[in-house]
């Protein structure tokens, strides 16, 4: 049968069993009296903070005259301490947040925060704000990462999340009517995750009733008659129930809307010192020497103590801290009950008993297995589950052996289940050791998750164990090694940089892809700039390496690494940084030898830093590049709206172009550019003079041809001739420009006169074209007969609609194809078509195609 001594340690509450195993006994601390201290215990087996309670009169000894904030692990091993020097009045409350930050609130509302190593965190702030500095905090209730405070004027304030960068205090609605400042008898909090609104809801027992306070609303709750006033209240872990202690000595459980579920009449009407939920099935009440556990059944369970205790609620029970030990009161799991309950004949109990017979070489082992063959997989699962809930290592081992023994005869059991449980228990047993002091149950471990557990281990500087667990569970070790490296740098100020580098690299290389840059940044933050520079050399990712090199002043190396990476964004990052830090000549020297950096700088400077780019080109002797920049500036000045209003910018433009010409002339390779800049400057000057004389801003930035054409259109033939002569415009171009300019202003007499000055070098075809485009057929007739090519005459006659003359000219050309095209032109004119047909027939007869 199952082990009787195990069940003898249990207590029966209704139909459920509870047990209270020792987690650590005795505790490692010395001369600690919980009754003289304010105590804060972190959930999930976290650290314990103690500080002398300044509201109590205690005898002080020389060594304890200084008030200290002391932090221990759950086994009582000292972790750290610091002298409490914080002003603000009496300490009202302290508690741990989910990320194990210790929050302390003093009487004037100031919030002080500490790490698990008693290191203060900045900044401090007030939960009351500037408007209520004359009020004092009288009570505070913590939850998760938040707190609710009540002042002596019955105002309620809340902080929803201490993890935010700047926690924001929020004043809730006033619970008491205006003018009444009655303080609540007790306060409880329903966490935001369990409320419909998603905001914290505060329950206050005021007078004979209970009110629920939110940000902008106060809602009275219907407390059953005769139950008020309530002396103590506490909300269950799932936010569904409220346990309370009434004024007449009854413990009552309500829903959160205060519908009574059950009550128990206690022996004493004095309110208990502590009231806490044990899981979701029972409530604990602690008086000076007795702990009472009450459930839905009539008969409670009593535990007697001769020393003060602190109740620490967990998700699956309550840890009980005393001066000398820490225990865990929990509901006995069903799997454990099925195995160890006195007289149990469940399959799991028979399997456990079969192992005992097997060890004694008894045939009864086989008999037990035959009895449970159909339920063997359930029995194995129960043994595995019971092993997970045990804190005693030898009992874990025995249960797992029983499961393994049964598995050998069970073909349908998931064989990895025992291996997974072994892994979990090895992790739990490792962190439960007194040196680590994290007494997690398996349910707490699953809720906390392994990654969070590893985070807590590294925050406690238990890096070796964290690394081994990470490796054992197949998790990423980078977080552990990174934290270790940063902690090592902080704690090793006396170790030379080279020696410390070897120590760090020896561990950092264990994890591929680890960020050396992050470790180097921490070294730089701690004043180890040389070490940071050596570390960052090992960073393979340029995107992380380069910014850090810049932050530690290694601009030259950063530029080398950025250019080697080929990442233009990184190169620009370095260039802009150096631009702000270095003198121009020094900057130019740095980029001159690095092609990518130089080219990217030039591309950027061409758009945004012309003057700076000119300095760069001058410093490197690239005069032609400076000339191009000057010329570009001249063009851009021409785009300025001011350039078309009285031309105040033409002077600077001319000077810029002349400077460009002078610089181009310094080199033989840019003769063309030099000549072009010279002529451009000359043209700008002439155009500027023309605009001044004509008082019309229409010349600058036009071409030579357009300038000549505009002069002729304006009737300024002398200026047009001057431009022609100055820029050596050819006769042919001159004729083209003047012909079409005169046609534009329809000065036909001048055009005819111009045609007779001498034989035109371009012939008379342009005269004809200009007249036809101006729709002056009569003027065109003056010049068509002068065309020497009969084909041109024929086409010109055709364009002005003279079919017979076009046909005669085409016949002179003896071109049948031309006659065909002309016929198509006059297709709608029957007489003209007849003429073209006759001529084509004649040419065909003569043998001309």
Give the separation between CA 395 and CA 611, rounded to whole angstroms.
83
Band of pLDDT at residue 641, cut at 50, 70 and 90: very low
Model pLDDT, residue 649: 47
Report which of residues 844 and 632 the model is more confident about: 632
Backbone angles phi, psi at 593, to 5 degrees: -85, -5
Closest CA to 221 of 231, 208, 234, 232: 208
Give the separation between CA 146 and CA 159, rounded to whole angstroms.
5
pLDDT of 78 strictly over 60: yes
pLDDT of 682 strictly over 90: no
Q: Is-contact 820 807, C-beta < 8 A? A: no
Give the separation between CA 422 and CA 473, rounded to whole angstroms.
12
Counts for the chain of helices (H) and strands (E), in that order: 33, 30
48-52 and 37-41 beta bridge pairing: antiparallel
pLDDT in tens, 457-513: 999 999 999 999 999 999 999 999 999 999 999 999 889 999 999 999 999 988 888
**For the residues 430-444, what does the mean pLDDT come to?**
97
Q: Is-contact 813 825, C-beta < 8 A? A: no
pTM, entire model: 0.75
Give the separation between CA 248 and CA 245, rounded to whole angstroms.
8
**For the residues 508-525, what does the mean pLDDT come to?**
89
**For the residues 616-637, what does the mean pLDDT come to?**
62
Give the least confident one: 32-36, 633-637, 703-707, 803-807.
633-637
CB half-sphere exposure, 417, CA atoms < 13 A:
20
Q: Give residues with Cβ within 8 angstroms of 702, minimum separation 6.
A: 687, 710
Q: Is-contact 317 441, C-beta < 8 A? A: yes
Model pLDDT, residue 845: 42
Give the separation between CA 246 and CA 229, rounded to whole angstroms.
6
**For the residues 21-25, what does the mean pLDDT come to?**
96
Give the least confident one: 83-87, 309-313, 592-596, 614-618.
614-618
Is 75 strand, coil or helix?
coil
**For the residues 444-452, what does the mean pLDDT come to?**
96
pLDDT in tens, 129-183: 778 888 999 999 999 999 999 999 999 999 999 988 888 899 999 987 765 678 9
Q: How much is the mean pLDDT over the chain? A: 86
pLDDT of 2 strictly over 50: no
**For the residues 810-818, what does the mean pLDDT come to?**
65
Band of pLDDT at residue 237, cut at 50, 70 and 90: very high
Give the separation between CA 206 and CA 242, rounded to whole angstroms.
16
pLDDT in tens, 203-226: 999 989 999 999 999 999 999 988
290-294 and 282-286 beta bridge pairing: antiparallel
Give the separation between CA 562 and CA 548, rounded to whole angstroms.
12
**For the residues 243-269, what does the mean pLDDT come to?**
94
Give the separation between CA 679 and CA 664, rounded to whole angstroms.
13
301-304 and 91-96 beta bridge pairing: unpaired
Give the separation between CA 593 and CA 470, rounded to whole angstroms.
48
Q: Give residues with Cβ within 8 angstroms of 721, minimum separation 6.
A: none
CA dihedral 380, 384, 389, 392 (to 10 degrees): 100
Per-residue burial over 1-11, b if 16 or more Cβ lie within 10 Å, else e, is ebbeebbeebb
Backbone angles phi, psi at 795, to 5 degrees: -65, -40
Give the least confident one: 1-15, 185-199, 275-289.
1-15
How does DSSP classify residue 232?
E
Question: Taking each helix axis from N to C terminus, what angle separates 830-845 and 803-813, rounded to the nearest 10 degrees?
Answer: 10
Give the separation between CA 417 and CA 376, rounded to whole angstroms.
14
Type and span of the H or E element at 43: none
Report which of residues 648 and 790 the model is more confident about: 790
pLDDT of 413 strictly over 50: yes
pLDDT of 95 strictly over 50: yes
Model pLDDT, residue 64: 56
Q: Is-contact 135 106, C-beta < 8 A? A: no
% of the chain surpassing 70 pLDDT: 86
Band of pLDDT at residue 737, cut at 50, 70 and 90: confident
Give the least confident one: 36-40, 491-495, 564-568, 713-717.
713-717
Alpha helices in 299-415 (DSSP H): 334-340, 347-359, 364-371, 376-388, 393-407
pLDDT of 773 strictly over 90: no
Give the separation between CA 305 and CA 234, rounded to whole angstroms.
23
Closest CA to 91 of 45, 26, 136, 121: 136
Give the separation between CA 449 and CA 437, rounded to whole angstroms.
17
**For the residues 704-722, what does the mean pLDDT come to?**
83
Q: Is-contact 671 700, C-beta < 8 A? A: no
Model pLDDT, residue 503: 93
Band of pLDDT at residue 635, cut at 50, 70 and 90: low
Model pLDDT, residue 450: 97
pLDDT of 646 strictly over 80: no
Residue 615's CB: how many other CB atoms inside 10 A? 17
Tell me the CA distances in angstroms from 401 to 1, 470, 820, one per residue in order: 16, 26, 113
pLDDT of 829 strictly over 80: no
**For the residues 534-555, what does the mean pLDDT come to?**
87
Per-residue burial over 28-60, b if 16 or more Cβ lie within 10 Å, else e, is ebeebebeebbbbbbbbbbbbbbbbbeeeeeee
Q: Which long-range contacts (CB under 8 A, 24 or more apart) does 139-144 make?
A: 139/92, 139/93, 139/184, 139/187, 140/92, 140/93, 140/105, 141/93, 141/187, 141/188, 141/189, 141/202, 142/93, 142/95, 142/103, 143/189, 143/191, 143/200, 144/97, 144/98, 144/191
Q: Is-contact 306 318, C-beta < 8 A? A: no
Model pLDDT, residue 681: 66
Model pLDDT, residue 658: 62
pLDDT of 818 strictly over 80: no
Give the separation between CA 222 and CA 237, rounded to whole angstroms.
22
Enumerate the β-bridge partners of residue 39: 50
**For the residues 527-540, what does the mean pLDDT come to?**
90
Q: Is-contact 525 506, C-beta < 8 A? A: no
Q: Give residues with Cβ within 8 angstroms of 444, minimum separation 6.
A: 44, 45, 314, 315, 316
pLDDT in tens, 112-123: 999 999 999 988
Closest CA to 632 of 648, 647, 617: 617
Model pLDDT, residue 840: 55
Band of pLDDT at residue 65, cut at 50, 70 and 90: low
What tokens does 254 get? Answer: 């309500």
pLDDT of 280 strictly over 80: yes
Model pLDDT, residue 645: 44
Model pLDDT, residue 726: 76
* Whether residue 26 has a cis bond before it, omega within 30° of 0: yes
Q: Is-contact 241 254, C-beta < 8 A? A: yes
DSSP string, 487-523: HHHHH-TTS-HHHHHHHHHHHHTTSTT--HHHHHHHH
Closest CA to 155 of 130, 126, 184: 184
pLDDT of 651 strictly over 60: no
End-to-end CA distance of the chain: give it in Å, rounded.
Answer: 129
Residue 312 CB burial class (10 angstroms; 0-12, 13-18, ≥19): buried
């Amino acid at each position: 049968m199952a082990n009787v001594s195990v069940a003898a340690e249990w207590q029966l509450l209704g139909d459920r069993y509870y047990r209270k195993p020792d987690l650590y006994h005795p505790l490692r601390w010395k001369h600690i009296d919980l009754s003289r201290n304010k105590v804060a215990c972190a959930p999930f087996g976290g650290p314990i903070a103690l500080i002398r309670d300044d509201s109590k009169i205690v005898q002080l000894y020389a060594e304890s005259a200084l008030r200290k904030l002391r932090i221990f692990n759950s086994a009582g091993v000292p972790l750290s301490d610091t002298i409490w020097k914080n002003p603000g009045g009496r300490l009202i409350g302290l508690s741990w947040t989910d990320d194990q930050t210790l929050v302390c609130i003093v009487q004037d509302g100031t919030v002080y925060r500490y790490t698990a190593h008693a290191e203060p965190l900045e900044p401090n702030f007030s939960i009351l704000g500037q408007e209520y500095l004359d009020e004092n905090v009288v009570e505070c209730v913590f939850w998760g990462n938040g707190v609710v405070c009540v002042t002596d004027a019955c105002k309620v304030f809340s902080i929803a999340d201490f993890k935010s960068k700047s926690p924001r205090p929020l004043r809730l609605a006033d619970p008491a009517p205006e003018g009444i400042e009655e303080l609540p008898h007790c306060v409880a909090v329903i966490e935001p995750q369990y409320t419909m609104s998603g905001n914290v809801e505060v329950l206050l027992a005021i007078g004979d009733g209970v009110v629920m306070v939110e940000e902008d609303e106060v809602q009275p709750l219907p407390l059953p008659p005769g139950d008020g006033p309530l002396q103590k209240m506490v909300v269950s872990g799932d936010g569904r129930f409220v346990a309370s202690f009434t004024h007449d000595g009854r413990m009552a459980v309500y829903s959160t809307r205060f519908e009574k579920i059950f009550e128990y009449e206690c022996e004493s009407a004095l309110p208990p010192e502590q009231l806490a939920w044990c899981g979701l099935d029972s409530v604990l009440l602690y008086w000076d020497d007795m702990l009472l556990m009450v459930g839905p059944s009539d008969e409670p369970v009593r535990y007697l103590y001769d020393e003060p205790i602190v109740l620490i609620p967990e998700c699956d029970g309550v840890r009980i801290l005393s001066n000398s030990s820490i225990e865990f009161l929990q509901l006995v799991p069903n799997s454990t009950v099925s195995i160890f309950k006195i007289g149990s004949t469940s399959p799991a109990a028979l399997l456990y008993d079969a192992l005992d017979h097997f060890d004694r070489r008894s045939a009864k082992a086989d008999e037990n297995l035959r009895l449970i063959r159909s339920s063997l997989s359930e029995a194995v699962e129960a043994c595995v589950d019971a092993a997970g809930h045990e804190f005693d290592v030898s009992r874990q081992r025995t249960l797992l052996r029983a499961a393994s023994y049964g598995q050998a005869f069970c073909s349908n059991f998931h064989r990895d289940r025992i291996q997974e449980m072994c892994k979990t228990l090895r992790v739990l047993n490792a962190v439960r050791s007194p040196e680590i002091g994290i007494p997690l149950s398996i349910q707490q471990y699953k809720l906390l998750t392994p990654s969070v557990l590893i985070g807590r281990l590294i925050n406690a500087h238990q890096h070796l164990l964290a690394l081994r667990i990470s490796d054992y569970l197949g998790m990423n070790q980078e977080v552990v090694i990174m934290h270790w490296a940063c902690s090592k740098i902080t704690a090793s100020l006396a170790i030379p940089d080279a020696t410390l580098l070897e120590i760090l690299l020896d561990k950092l290389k264990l994890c591929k892809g680890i960020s050396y840059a992050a470790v180097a940044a921490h070294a730089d933050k701690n004043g180890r700039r040389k070490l940071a520079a050596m570390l960052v050399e090992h960073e393979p990712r340029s995107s992380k390496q380069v910014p850090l090199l810049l932050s530690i002043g290694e601009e030259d190396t950063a530029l080398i690494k950025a250019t080697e990476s080929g990442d233009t964004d990184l190169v620009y990052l370095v260039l802009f940084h150096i631009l702000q830090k270095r003198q121009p000549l020094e900057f130019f020297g740095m980029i001159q030898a690095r092609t990518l950096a130089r080219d990217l700088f030039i591309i950027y400077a061409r758009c945004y830093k012309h003057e700076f780019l000119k300095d760069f080109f001058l410093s490197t002797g690239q005069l032609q590049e400076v000339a191009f920049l000057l010329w570009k500036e001249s063009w851009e000045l021409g785009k300025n709206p001011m350039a078309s209003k009285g031309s105040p910018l033409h002077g600077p433009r001319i000077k810029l172009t002349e400077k460009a010409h002078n610089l181009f002339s310094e080199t033989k390779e840019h003769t063309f550019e030099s000549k072009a800049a010279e002529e451009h400057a000359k043209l700008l000057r002439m155009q500027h003079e023309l605009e001044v004389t004509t008082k019309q801003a229409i010349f600058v930035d036009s071409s030579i041809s357009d300038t000549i054409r505009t002069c002729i259109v304006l009737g300024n033939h002398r200026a047009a001739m001057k431009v022609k002569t100055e820029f050596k415009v050819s006769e042919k171009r001159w004729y083209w420009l003047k012909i079409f300019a005169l046609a534009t202003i329809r000065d036909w007499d001048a055009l005819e006169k111009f045609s007779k000055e001498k034989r035109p070098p371009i012939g008379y075809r342009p005269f004809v074209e200009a007249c036809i485009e101006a729709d002056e057929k009569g003027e065109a007739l003056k010049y068509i007969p002068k065309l020497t090519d009969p084909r041109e005459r024929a086409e010109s006659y055709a364009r002005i609609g003279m079919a017979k003359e076009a046909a005669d000219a085409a016949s002179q050309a003896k071109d049948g194809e031309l006659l065909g095209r002309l016929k198509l032109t006059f297709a709608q004119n029957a007489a003209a078509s007849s003429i073209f047909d006759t001529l084509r027939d004649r040419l065909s007869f003569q043998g001309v195609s």
